Amino acid sequence: MRFTNQSIRQLIEKYREISHLNKISALLSWDLNVNLPQKATESRSAQIASLTGIITDRWLDTGFRTLLDVAIQQQEHFSPEERAAVRNLEHAGKYYYRIPKDLIVEFSKATTESFMAWQEAKQHDDFDSFRPHLEKVVRMNCLIADHLTYKDNRYDALLDLYEPNLTAAKCSPIFDALTGPLRDLIKTVQNSAHFRETPRYVGEPYHYPAKQQKQLAYFILRTMGYDLKAGRMDVSAHPFTIDMHRADVRITTRYNVHDLRESLMAAIHESGHALYEQGVSPVYDDTPLAGGVSLGIHESQSRFWENQVGRSPQFISFIAPVLRAFFPNELGDTKIDDLVKMINHVVPSVTRVEADEVTYNLHIALRYELENGLINEKIAVDDLPALWREKMKQYLGVEPKTDREGVLQDVHWSYGSFGYFPTYTLGNLYAAQFTKKMREALPVDELISRGELGTILSWLRDNIHKHGSLYWPDKLVQHVTGESLNPAYLIEYLQKKYTELYEVDVKK
Amino acid sequence: MRFTNQSIRQLIEKYREISHLNKISALLSWDLNVNLPQKATESRSAQIASLTGIITDRWLDTGFRTLLDVAIQQQEHFSPEERAAVRNLEHAGKYYYRIPKDLIVEFSKATTESFMAWQEAKQHDDFDSFRPHLEKVVRMNCLIADHLTYKDNRYDALLDLYEPNLTAAKCSPIFDALTGPLRDLIKTVQNSAHFRETPRYVGEPYHYPAKQQKQLAYFILRTMGYDLKAGRMDVSAHPFTIDMHRADVRITTRYNVHDLRESLMAAIHESGHALYEQGVSPVYDDTPLAGGVSLGIHESQSRFWENQVGRSPQFISFIAPVLRAFFPNELGDTKIDDLVKMINHVVPSVTRVEADEVTYNLHIALRYELENGLINEKIAVDDLPALWREKMKQYLGVEPKTDREGVLQDVHWSYGSFGYFPTYTLGNLYAAQFTKKMREALPVDELISRGELGTILSWLRDNIHKHGSLYWPDKLVQHVTGESLNPAYLIEYLQKKYTELYEVDVKK
């Protein structure tokens, strides 16, 4: 235990119970997504609500709050780790201290209802039935943002919940810097002689048995260094990573028998998240410094492994023999170049979760602009479907035929999350910037070619993972790369990779 | 909601949170047994301890206790259901109100350590390393019993925790009535020309693939009427049933590829437990009347399905075609009589969990006598291994070669449970008595032969399941069968069944 100050030790001792309850809550969610019998949704919701109430009460407990207030006042005498712990508690505590408990409870109910309405609405492609729920959830988010307070932009109060210190003033220039070059790159790729609308080895005639996909996923997990004695892999509708402790970090996947890429990329992506959690220093267990620091940094780890490693020609060449051996009928005769093209297939589409590296961030730019407008009451929920179609055409040159493929496609807004989407793009940017730095220290391509991923993992552990939530994102990026976030690295990486792959010149 | 009195409504509203927390605790245990990664035992223990602390605090909360005290005073004005709810709360509350919280916490820690010591000791057949732990756990149980208070026998205070109102004065005559006839029946069977030491179709040369065993288990669950939309089946080291709500009742099983009987009987037995929980009236959800009333009645349901149904020649004849179809190499040519003999193979052995219907209750009689002696300080832990061997010889004519096969075989004592074992025998007795009554109302054998188990389930639902914890065991047995518990029914059933099966006359 590195916390020596008496009052902070007491505070952290009290926090330990909150941490246990948070992790129990995580288990309830994991189980809900992986195991829950169909008829048990209502009883599970009631159990989660009871636990949420207890966690809220623990934050509001006067003894705890007094200790936190004392620690805030005394923090100048603390060690850097102690100060970081206080900072994280103050940041997380904002949610409980600034927002009235009634609003938290009402919001939790409203978003549960909204989520269920969204499921129905998406299924029946019926935005109108979802609209009143979305309107309510947006209104409540505005109210929550006002309670949380902000300087320049109401949306900042929400962004900060997912990525400490993130503001629209930081996001907007990033998206401005990205959209032009990405749109140009897409056009370049589309004009290439090698451009195809649909990838090879994917779709109905091809059949990749789930059993082999599972074996392949485990091979990937082991190769990446995911500790299966401190985690497990299950199946869920949408892949995710969740931890009940550093020693219990679980991932999920899903199998599409017609498209091998889904489970392959899910395994690599989710393991990327899991490796981060498994790699945090054990001395931080159940303290405010435990776990990954923010959604953006978390996404940088999943995207690093998914894109910089998993989609690299070097990695694909390393696993090519395994793919051919597992799926002899489908891929037995493929050349490495065929596999690289399948896995790096670029095509503008209407669906975010199916998007490739080049088009992905334009999906996020669209959502960012709409969220910013909604929370600042410059866009009405009523106008969303049309605006969505318009911006899709503008950014990606495609138009969703239905709202199901358009404004209804993502779950996030339905459960009340505004400010989450930008962290996906931040993740991509951080990943590119970290990689650039890593390449100065390690022969990355060579290591990947030989499947020696342990050296890469060690670099991530030393530079990022072990710190847990010690450094906030701004400082961590500075600490690791010596400069602040710079979108140029992602643009440079994508331009180089995809002009080579599609054998074209960059349009500047 | 059938609770109309104002103060009891408030009490039950407050209890609802305790119920949610208990069910969350159940999920933590289920997950621990089914999913937990190897390295996460310590973190899971800490989470369970935090939750246990919160549940204890909820019971000790003055607001809750005052409401309960008021309800106890006012109960003469209550409806029968309201009175039963108060009675159950008073019964469960005893544990929290009479035992000092420090002792509860210390006991929880001591039993966790003792459990781990037992696992090691069993693995290395080393009773001496376990002895100090067992001595401590016995001492603490004595202390707990003294805090709980009792009239005649200290052991009664513990028996009552598992089976309300059960006493040694009730148990002893039951075991006295059972042991003689059962020992005679064993001798009769052993003298039969049809007696074999080892059953056919079991052991090394036979191989029952786990995949088919699993399919068979699901067929059995569906046939019995277990609602898989309100439950699920997983694999664990020892089969068990646990519920997170009436709509989420889960069972586990295990597959022994050399002995089909293990998973077959586990599926039937655990489903028997699960059907009870799934069948409780929904108006009792999350109230003190929810769930099965006692371990003994619970075991009556699992044993009814396992023994009275599952091991009956009628049921075996019903599933015989399925067995032959699933396992053509092993059972393709078997006659029904062969299968009946395999599933009802009687032989005295040293291991309780492998015991057949005839020998099973003698294993319990032995444990009952030892527990009664230990808690009343008439037997010392030091003397257990020798006493165990002596009594095994006396009751079953076999002697364990090692302590691992003897005094170390069961987990119960290691985690501090004294008073649990007798409920296994009670379950067998209740089951036989209920069956006798059921046969007056239904053509049981015919229904089983045709696999029409729904009618049987309906009878159980109407007479037992729907009542949940409304009637305590004594009253329930009276209510269902018109008389109090009578061991004659089990003896009669076993004598008739096994003298027919082994083609011998009863030795009176």
Q: What is the pLDDT of residue A105?
A: 82
Q: What is the pLDDT of residue A455?
A: 98
Whether residues A21 and B232 touch (CB distance < 8 A) is answered with no
Residue of B nearest to A228 (CA): B37
Catalytic site residue from A82, A163, A262, A270 = A270
Q: Are B241 and B291 in contact (CB under 8 A)?
A: no
User: Nearest CA to CA, how far is B465 from chain A (Å)?
Assistant: 19
R_g of chain A computed on alpha carbons: 23
Nearest to A247 among B40, B54, B245 (CB): B40
Strand order of the β-sheet with B231-235 is B231-235, B249-253, B241-243
| Kind of pairing between the strands at A249-253 and A241-243 | antiparallel
Catalytic site residue from B270, B277, B306, B369 = B270
| A322 interface with B at CB cutoff 8 Å | no
**CATH topology classification for A169-501:** Neurolysin; domain 3 (1.10.1370)
Q: Is B256 exposed, middle or buried (0-12, 13-18, 19+ CB in 10 A)?
A: middle
**pLDDT range class, residue B113, cuts 50, 70, 90:** confident
Whether the predicted interface score ipTM is above 0.90: yes
Task: With CA atoms as reference, report the closest residue to A352 among A407, A307, A428.
Answer: A407
Q: Could you tell me what percent of chain B has a pLDDT over 70?
A: 99
| A282 interface with B at CB cutoff 8 Å | no
User: Nearest CA to CA, how far is A12 from chain B (Å)?
Assistant: 15
Nearest to A232 among B35, B50, B229 (CB): B35
Task: With CA atoms as reference, report the closest residue to B345 among B135, B132, B203.
Answer: B203
Whether residues A40 and B286 touch (CB distance < 8 A) is answered with no
Chain A hits for B50, CB-CB cut-off 8 Å, are: 16-17, 20-21, 24
Whether residues A27 and B23 touch (CB distance < 8 A) is answered with no
CB atoms within 10 A of CB B423: 23
Whether residues B31 and A27 touch (CB distance < 8 A) is answered with yes
Whether residues A43 and B23 touch (CB distance < 8 A) is answered with yes
Helices A80-98 and A6-34, axial angle in degrees (round to 10):
60
Q: What is the pLDDT of residue A183?
A: 97
The first and second tokens of residue A366, run together, are 């669209």
pLDDT at position B508 over 60: no
Rounded CA gap, A72 and A86, in Å? 6
| B36 interface with A at CB cutoff 8 Å | yes
Q: How many CA atoms does the CB half-sphere of B481 hold within 13 Å?
A: 21
Chain B hits for A245, CB-CB cut-off 8 Å, are: 40, 43-44, 47
| Kind of pairing between the strands at A249-253 and B231-235 | unpaired
Query: Rounded to an integer, what is the distance from CA B131 to the centroid of its chain?
Result: 26
CB atoms within 10 A of CB A176: 11
Query: Rounded to an integer, what is the distance from CA B460 to the centroid of its chain?
Result: 17
Q: Are A68 and A86 in contact (CB under 8 A)?
A: yes
Residues of B (43-62) whose Cβ lies below 8 Å from A? 43-44, 46-47, 50-51, 53-54
Task: With CA atoms as reference, report the closest residue to A431 among A362, A481, A469.
Answer: A481
CB within 8 Å of A189: residues ≥ 6 apart = A195, A346, A358, A498, A502, A504
Q: Which amino acid is at B505?
A: D
Strand partners, B249: B231, B243
Most B-contacting residue of A18, A24, A234, A284 (CB-CB within 10 A), to test interface: A24
Whether residues B37 and A247 touch (CB distance < 8 A) is answered with yes
The backbone torsions φ and ψ at residue B250, rounded to the nearest 5 degrees and listed phi first, read -110, 145
Residues of B (284-303) whose Cβ lies below 8 Å from A? 285-286
Chain B hits for A51, CB-CB cut-off 8 Å, are: 20-21, 24
Whether residues B43 and A28 touch (CB distance < 8 A) is answered with no
DSSP A412: T
Helices B6-34 and A6-34, axial angle in degrees (round to 10):
80
Q: Compute the mean pLDDT over every residue in chain B, rounded to the nearest whole number.
A: 96
Q: Are B192 and B240 in contact (CB under 8 A)?
A: no
Residues of A (242-271) whose Cβ lies below 8 Å from B? 244-248, 250
Q: A455-494 b/e with 16+ CB inside 10 Å = b?
A: bbbebbbebbbebbbbbbbbebbeebbeeebbbebbbebb
Whether residues B231 and A37 touch (CB distance < 8 A) is answered with yes
Q: Are A127 and A408 in contact (CB under 8 A)?
A: yes
Residue of B nearest to A248 (CA): B40
Chain B hits for A251, CB-CB cut-off 8 Å, are: none
Rounded CA gap, A149 and A146, in Å? 5
Q: In a structure prediction context, what are the per-residue pLDDT tens digits for chain A, which is 508 residues long?
A: 577 778 899 999 999 999 999 999 999 999 999 999 999 989 999 999 999 999 999 999 999 999 999 999 999 999 999 999 999 999 999 999 999 988 988 898 899 889 889 999 999 999 999 999 999 999 999 999 999 999 999 999 999 999 999 999 999 999 999 999 999 999 999 999 999 999 999 999 999 999 999 999 999 999 999 999 999 999 998 999 999 999 999 999 999 999 999 999 999 999 999 999 999 999 999 999 999 999 999 999 999 999 999 999 999 999 999 999 999 999 999 999 999 999 999 999 999 999 999 999 999 999 999 999 999 999 999 999 999 999 999 999 999 999 999 999 999 999 999 999 999 999 999 999 999 999 999 999 999 999 999 999 999 999 999 999 999 999 999 999 999 999 999 999 999 999 999 998 755 4
Long-range contacts of the stretch B470-475 (C-beta < 8 A, 24+): B470/B80, B470/B81, B470/B84, B470/B284, B470/B289, B470/B293, B471/B84, B471/B293, B472/B87, B472/B164, B472/B165, B472/B293, B472/B294, B473/B163, B473/B164, B473/B165, B473/B166, B473/B293, B473/B294, B473/B296, B473/B297, B473/B426, B473/B430, B474/B165
Nearest to B40 among A38, A43, A245 (CB): A245
Whether residues A227 and B47 touch (CB distance < 8 A) is answered with no
Task: With CA atoms as reference, report the closest residue to A41 among B16, A49, B55, A250.
Answer: A49
Q: pLDDT tens-digit profile of B484-502?
A: 999 999 999 999 999 999 9
Rounded CA gap, B56 and B65, in Å? 12
Q: Are A292 and A466 in contact (CB under 8 A)?
A: no
At B464, which helix (H) or strand (E)?
none
Q: Are B251 and B436 in contact (CB under 8 A)?
A: no
Chain A hits for B51, CB-CB cut-off 8 Å, are: 20-21, 24
Task: With CA atoms as reference, report the closest residue to A170 among A496, A407, A473.
Answer: A473
Rounded CA gap, B487 and A110, in Å? 57
| B21 interface with A at CB cutoff 8 Å | yes
Chain A hits for B47, CB-CB cut-off 8 Å, are: 20, 23-24, 244-245
Rounded CA gap, A281 and A270, in Å? 20
Residue of A nearest to B231 (CA): A37
Whether residues B247 and A40 touch (CB distance < 8 A) is answered with yes
Most B-contacting residue of A28, A42, A50, A232 (CB-CB within 10 A), to test interface: A50
Chain B hits for A28, CB-CB cut-off 8 Å, are: 24, 27
Nearest to A28 among B24, B36, B230 (CB): B24
- Rounded mean pLDDT of B336-349? 96
**pLDDT range class, residue B332, cuts 50, 70, 90:** very high
Q: Are A244 and B36 in contact (CB under 8 A)?
A: no
User: Nearest CA to CA, how far is A186 from chain B (Å)?
Assistant: 44
DSSP A309: I
DSSP A441: H
- Rounded mean pLDDT of B25-49? 94
Q: How many CA atoms does the CB half-sphere of B43 hold within 13 Å?
A: 27
Q: What is the pLDDT of residue B116?
A: 87
Nearest to A37 among B36, B43, B230 (CB): B230
Going from the C-alpha of B18 to that of each of A54, A77, B14, B25, the distances in angstroms are: 11, 42, 7, 10
Q: What is the pLDDT of residue A270?
A: 98
Chain B hits for A230, CB-CB cut-off 8 Å, are: 37-40
CB atoms within 10 A of CB B441: 11
Please, what's the largest Cα pairwise distance for chain B? 68
Query: Rounded to an integer, what is the distance from CA A3 to the centroid of its chain?
Result: 31
Task: With CA atoms as reference, report the closest residue to A445 among A356, A335, A317, A330.
Answer: A317
Helices B210-224 and B453-463, axial angle in degrees (round to 10):
60
Chain B hits for A37, CB-CB cut-off 8 Å, are: 228-232, 247-248, 250
Task: With CA atoms as reference, report the closest residue to B435 among B270, B306, B295, B291.
Answer: B306
Q: Are B185 and B495 in contact (CB under 8 A)?
A: yes
User: Nearest CA to CA, how far is B277 from chain A (Å)?
Assistant: 14
Whether residues B248 and A17 touch (CB distance < 8 A) is answered with no
Whether residues A38 and B248 touch (CB distance < 8 A) is answered with no
**pLDDT range class, residue B231, cuts 50, 70, 90:** very high
N-to-C CA span, chain A: 53
Residue listed under structure tokens 């074209």: A504
Q: Are B499 and B187 in contact (CB under 8 A)?
A: no
User: Nearest CA to CA, how far is A3 from chain B (Å)?
Assistant: 20
CB within 8 Å of A379: residues ≥ 6 apart = A370, A373, A387
| A27 interface with B at CB cutoff 8 Å | yes
Q: What is the pLDDT of residue B1?
A: 52
Task: With CA atoms as reference, report the closest residue to A85 among A291, A288, A290.
Answer: A288
Q: What is the pLDDT of residue A116?
A: 87
Whether residues B39 and A248 touch (CB distance < 8 A) is answered with yes
Task: With CA atoms as reference, report the closest residue to A496 among A101, A189, A107, A59.
Answer: A189
The first and second tokens of residue A269, run together, are 């992506």
Annotated active-site residue B17? The verdict is: no
Q: Domain segments of chain B: what residues?
A: 6-98, 169-501
Q: pLDDT tens-digit profile of B57-76?
A: 999 999 999 999 999 999 99
The per-type count for chain A, helices as H runs and strands as E runs, is: 21, 3
